[in-house]
């Protein structure tokens, strides 16, 4: 059942992430045959709450309102990755899950769920910038840094900002069906379901080398991504044996030559898909994949979406040749 929704906020709440929850659940769309939710904004820190943007809000509802909610949402906030969360708030989140309600977080709101112990033994999503910190702070959680949201036994977590829309629409779809979720998405002018995960939004898929032992070889590889090369050839360029080169490469880049090369080819393919109007077949050749089928295989594995879907999402308004 999804009828009663409450979102709990603290000082420093991000207006956009709060607005995501308010937009999905706080508007009356009953004139279009869509459900009207009993919706409330709840403060865990008194009636006056300062937002990350600098303005203040007056909130009349306190934590008692969470006790009757079917869904409790925790939007992101300033310094949520570092702050301590009020014990009454984390206790209320635990009680909600224990009585069968669902708890959903948007972006850094996941740290509040972690403070409540709700991530232990569960899969969870996090913004790719926060994933490592979340995993270190909550080692019993299974952090998935390449997805938009995760739904695990009453605890739904989402990655950055707009992924909160995906998570909220997922909950509507799960509880009330695709027709309702699609209707809300149509009113919001957003896709009811986005393709891929957040891996497609990360700038660079692999780290650079931390020293200059293999830097010259890396530069050569970047200039010749369309060439088939072997470890033996790369080792010869570095004046090392293949075994020494492979070990040194792993030490300095954190990965193997093959995987590094694949990552750079995917990166080049992304740039071509975003900024040119060449065909996917041409992108495959220029990026060193040879053909569109091979490009698609590796592109999906790296980014979680297809080259065509990626281009639709990220293509520049005025592509160049």
Contact between 295 and 280 (Cβ < 8 Å)? yes
- H helical segments located in 122-241: 131-137, 163-176, 178-188, 215-223, 231-237
Q: Where are the beta strands (DSSP E) in the chain?
A: 4-9, 38-43, 48-50, 56-58, 71-74, 102-106, 123-125, 142-144, 149-152, 155-158
CA distances 259 to 203, 249, 263, 264, Å, are 17, 11, 6, 9
Mean pLDDT value of segment 120-130: 92
Interval 264-269 mean pLDDT = 87
As beta bridge partners, residue 55 has none
pLDDT single digits (tens) 72-119: 999 999 889 989 999 999 999 999 999 999 999 999 999 999 999 999
Kindly report, residue by residue over 210-265, the tens digit of the pLDDT: 445 677 888 888 888 888 888 898 989 888 999 998 888 887 777 788 888 888 88
Q: What is the pLDDT of residue 316?
A: 54
pLDDT in tens, 180-214: 888 898 899 887 766 556 665 655 444 444 445 67
Q: Which residue has the higher pLDDT, 165 or 318?
A: 165
Query: CA-to-CA distance for 57 and 192, rounded, in angstroms?
Result: 30
Q: Which of 132, 205, 198, 199 is nearest to 166 (CA)?
A: 198
Name the region of 79 (left: φ>0; alpha: ψ -120 to 50; beta: rest). Answer: left
What pLDDT score does 162 carry? 86
Q: Domains plus CATH for the chain?
A: 4-194 (3.40.50.880), 215-314 (1.10.10.60)
Residue 284 has pLDDT above 70, yes or no: yes
pLDDT tens readout for residues 19-37: 999 999 999 999 999 999 9
What is the mean predicted confidence (pLDDT) over 127-152? 91
Rounded distance between C-alpha atoms, residue 259 and residue 246, angstroms: 12
3-state secondary structure of 41: strand
In this predicted structure, what is the pLDDT of residue 307? 93
């Amino acid at each position: 059942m999804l009828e009663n929704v409450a979102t709990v906020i603290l000082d420093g709440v991000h207006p956009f992430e709060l607005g995501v929850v308010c937009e999905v659940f706080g508007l009356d769309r009953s004139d279009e045959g869509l459900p009207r939710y009993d919706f409330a904004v709840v403060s865990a820190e008194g009636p006056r709450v300062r937002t990350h943007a600098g303005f203040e809000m007056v909130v009349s509802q306190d934590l008692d309102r969470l006790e009757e909610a079917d869904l409790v949402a925790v939007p992101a906030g300033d310094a949520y990755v570092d702050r301590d969360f009020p014990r009454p708030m984390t206790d209320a989140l635990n009680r909600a899950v224990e009585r069968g309600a669902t708890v959903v977080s948007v972006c850094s709101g996941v740290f509040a769920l972690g403070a409540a112990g709700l991530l232990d033994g569960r899969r969870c999503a996090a913004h790719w910038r926060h994933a490592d910190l979340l995993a270190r702070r909550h080692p019993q959680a299974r952090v998935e840094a390449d997805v938009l949201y995760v739904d695990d036994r009453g605890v739904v977590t989402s990655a950055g900002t707009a992924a909160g829309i995906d998570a909220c629409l997922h909950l509507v779809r799960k509880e009330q069906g695709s027709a309702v979720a699609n209707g809300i998405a149509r009113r919001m002018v957003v896709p009811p379901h986005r393709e891929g995960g957040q891996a497609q939004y990360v700038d660079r898929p692999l780290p650079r080398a931390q020293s200059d032992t293999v830097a010259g070889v890396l530069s050569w590889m970047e200039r010749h991504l369309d060439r088939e090369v072997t470890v033996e050839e790369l080792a010869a360029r570095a004046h090392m044996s293949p075994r020494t080169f492979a070990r040194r490469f792993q030490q300095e880049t954190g990965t193997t030559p093959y995987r590094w090369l694949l990552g750079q080819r995917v990166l080049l393919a992304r740039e071509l898909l975003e900024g040119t109007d060449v065909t996917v077949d041409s992108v495959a050749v220029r990026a060193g994949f040879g053909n569109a089928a091979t490009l698609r295989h590796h592109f999906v594995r790296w980014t979680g979406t297809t080259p065509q879907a990626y281009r639709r999402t990220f293509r520049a308004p005025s592509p160049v040749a």
